[in-house]
Amino acid sequence: MYLFYAPDLDTQDCFLNEEESRHCSKVLRLQKEDTIEVIDGKGNFYHAKITAANPKKTRFVVLQTQQEFGKRNNYLHMAVAPTKNIERLEWFVEKATEIGIDEITPILCQRSERKTINHERLNKVITSAVKQSLKAYCPKLNPLTDLSTLITAPTDAQKWLAHCMDTEKVPIKEALRPQQKYLILIGPEGDFSPQEIDFALQNQFEAITLGNSRLRTETAALEACFEVNFLNR
């Protein structure tokens, strides 16, 4: 199967962007009349045929469309503090996309060691993971956002906060209401500050635990992602 990503696909005039076209015609050496699969990141999975193989603009026609391909029964929004080693954040973004996630927000916290991200690079990681895992939905990557701004933003999701302080917490499997929207906050390597935790709790976030182990930021975020998907089966 040859799978390509066309986020701005117009079914009346179908073509791949230059990067995908180059991969199609130069790397894979596909030709006119060859069949391909195309996703638009919005839930549509297209079976198509190449009509013109060109490294700048490969054109194709859609033969068959599957709508809501692989649609999940919940909406998961992970808000994660970027790690000092950016490769660890990229690893989380890649694996979470493969497992199943809808929205990712990098957050800026009081103890954050990394205060910038390469948005374009992370989107490339997401696109690659979407294609690798045969997903038709592409997660939304938000800009780096101040934690207090995210905490006070209106949402109809269940709101959870995972932290390491020795206070009362609820296991995620007990807090979860199936087939809902979820927003989960994961802090930096030094954890959320006590002030940030109190502020989140005052804004209707619920403190959750992901187990007894002390996890790295990216591991905790992926564990939460896995549990939400597993519990919604």
- For each successive 10 residues of the chain (233 residues), what is the average pLDDT? 92 93 95 96 96 96 96 97 96 97 98 95 97 95 98 97 93 94 96 97 96 92 96 92
Per-residue pLDDT, 229: 96
Per-residue pLDDT, 11: 87
pTM: 0.93
Assigned token pair, 34: 């060859």
Per-residue pLDDT, 67: 96
Per-residue pLDDT, 174: 94
State how far the Cα of 4 lies from the Cα of 120, in Å rounded to an integer.
Answer: 18
Q: How far is CA 80 from CA 4, 7, 38, 96, in A?
A: 28, 25, 30, 12
Per-residue pLDDT, 214: 87
Per-residue pLDDT, 8: 87
State how far the Cα of 39 lies from the Cα of 138, in Å rounded to an integer.
Answer: 9
